Structure 1
Amino acid sequence: MQQTLEPVITAAWLAAWDKGDLDALDALMAEGYTRTSKATGATVDLAGLKAEIASVREAFPDLRTTLDDIVVGEGTVAVFWTSTGTHAHEYLGVPATGLTVHTRGSNILVLDPRGRVLQETVTWDGSELLAGLGIRPLRGIAAPPAPEPEDEDAQPSLDTMKAFNRQFITGVTVVTTKEGDRPKGLAANAYCSVSLEPPLVLVCVQKTSSTYPALFSSSHLGINILGADQKPTVGVFASKSPDKFAEVDWHEGPHGSPLIDCSAASIEAEIQERFQAKTHTVFICRVRHAEVDGAAPMVYKAGHFFDGGQLVEL
């Protein structure tokens, strides 16, 4: 049985995953075949499996798989595998990063009396590809979204949330990166320090920003804390200008990230993880370079900008 099954499984598996020959699975799978992911609990049929493979191959067109081991039992087969590929196209709503991923998993196959696969349980799901790139969901990326609460009183109104946010005072930053040789950036106040040892920071970016895809494909980014006299710069980076950097002076950090001249402080940081949070992505970054000018920072509250050097100590 083992001598018969191993080459059949290997040939069909590699033809489908590595070459995109999805019909190669037809002779391997029994009628009524189902595939269940332990990671999400989701179950699909053969058509669903083919759709998943097609989606992965579109996003990782150079995907290559190694079958590390195939263990044949009485009516069951365990398959252990490793895959490598380059994230060249959008996958699960995440723009291409151009990064290479290595992922591995195991599948348990239950056979029918004719030796075809009737049921399959897999430890892996598509989000593992993104996790291998440092992109993680705040909630399971493949899990169905939680239903919206029917009771309108179950959450604050939009006006209440706006009023709450207006009470919070923040600094003003410009987050920067490069798309090829072209500098890109956006104004953001969703920034904070995570830790000093190691030096970690986070910044939250809306997915609709024109800078967002470039951030995903970058290994580093710049974060510039604007000074009190840089209000015109805020307007530039809050705009939809096609070439924002034509209007400001800047220089490159050690890893090429644009750092804005005369900022109160600037850092260049290596992107280490990207957490998906519905409409936004939270970038967790390790600081690799810092510049501090010492100028008074700009302060933002309730839609207005203030001179951070004029604060009254309590």
Structure 2
Amino acid sequence: MKPDTAFDDFVDLLDYPMFVVTVQADCKTGGCLVGFATQASIDPPRFLVGLSTSNRTTSIALAATHLAVHLLPREQLKLAELFGGETGDDVDKFGQCDWHVGPEGTPVLDSARAWFVGEIIGRFDMGDHVGHLLAPVAGGSSGAERRPVFFADVRDLSPGHGA
């Protein structure tokens, strides 16, 4: 079996949480649905977010100092679809949801199950994504024990921008 085929088969078996990442810089706001994100260190705490190079959010994030990372409950699948299926080039996503200005000026989605704001302490090339290494500076949680949005929930979503 070719390595690419084996890798594709491996990845097809995965189901992982999806996140909405929001950003504010240079008087612009952006946000997108993200599947490439993970805790990267326990001590010190670090989180890695990969943003697509073709995404409007990435162009804003490149000028930003902080990102907000949101875990949405399954009941907010429509919000995940808004941030994953639309592009900020054409749609005001923030005009279609409840949010507030959070720490460091980042947009924080009111319906998130949990969220944190992280300082961008490093950026690096990840192929068709830009990695943003975050050091958490603030966060919040609804305290609700609700199932988050997973990849299987949005697998058939047509992205606002291609990868």
TM range (shorter): 0.7 to 0.9
Query: In structure 2, the residue corresponding to 1:294 is in which secondary structure?
Result: coil
- Which residue is equivalent to 1:277? 126
Amino acid of the structure 2 residue aligned with 1:171: P
What TM-score, normalized to structure 2?
0.84
For residues 179 and 286 of structure 1, the distance between their equivalents in structure 2, rounded to whole angstroms, comes to 18
Q: Show the 5 A alignment for 1:1-314.
A: 153=2, 155-157=3-5, 160-238=6-84, 239-240=86-87, 241-295=90-144, 296=146, 297-301=148-152, 303=155
**TM-score, normalized by length of structure 1?**
0.45
Structure with bigger gyration radius:
1
How far did 1:304 drift?
Answer: 6.5
Q: How much is the aligned-residue C-alpha RMSD, in angstroms?
A: 2.0
Q: CA deviation at 1:278?
A: 2.2
Tell which deviates more after alignment, 217-226 or 161-170.
Answer: 161-170
Distance, in Å, in 2 between the alignment partners of 1:287 and 1:301 is: 27
CA contact (8 A) 2:25 2:60 kept: yes
Answer yes or no: is the 8 Å Cα contact 2:123–2:130 preserved in 1. yes
Q: Return the letter of the residue paired with 2:83.
A: F
The offset of 1:168, in angstroms, is 1.1
- Greater relative contact order: 1 or 2 (C-alpha under 8 angstroms, separation 6 or more)? 2
DSSP-derived class of the 1:230 partner: helix
Partner Cα separation in structure 2 for residue 294 and residue 191 of structure 1: 22
In 1, the alpha carbon distance for the partners of 2:7 and 2:113 equals: 30
Supply the AA of the counterpart residue of 2:122.
E
Q: Relative to 1, partners in 2 of residues 1:253 and 1:223: Cα closer, same or farther, differing over 3 Å?
A: same
CA deviations 1:137-164 (Å, max 9, x no partner) are: xxxxxxxxxxxxxxx94x323xx44432
Pairs aligned (count):
151
Structure 1: unaligned runs, 5 residues or longer: 1-151, 306-314
Contact 2:23 2:61 survives alignment (8 Å): yes
- Residue 233 of structure 1 deviates from its aligned partner by 0.5
Deviation at 1:298, TM superposition (A): 2.0
* Matched residue type, 1:230: Q
Instruction: Say which SS state the counterpart of residue 30 (structure 2) adopts.
Output: strand
Question: Structure 2: any 5+ residue segments left out of the alignment?
Answer: 158-163
Deviation at 1:253, TM superposition (A): 1.8
Report if aligned partners of 1:166, 1:301 keep a CA contact under 8 Å in 2.
Answer: no
Please say if residues 167 and 301 of structure 1, whose CA atoms lie closer than 8 Å, have aligned partners that are also in contact.
no
Letter in 2 for 1:156: D
Q: Is the 8 A contact 2:50 2:126 kept in 1?
A: no
CA shift for structure 1 position 195: 2.0
Is the contact made by 2:45 and 2:136 (CA closer than 8 Å) also made in structure 1? yes
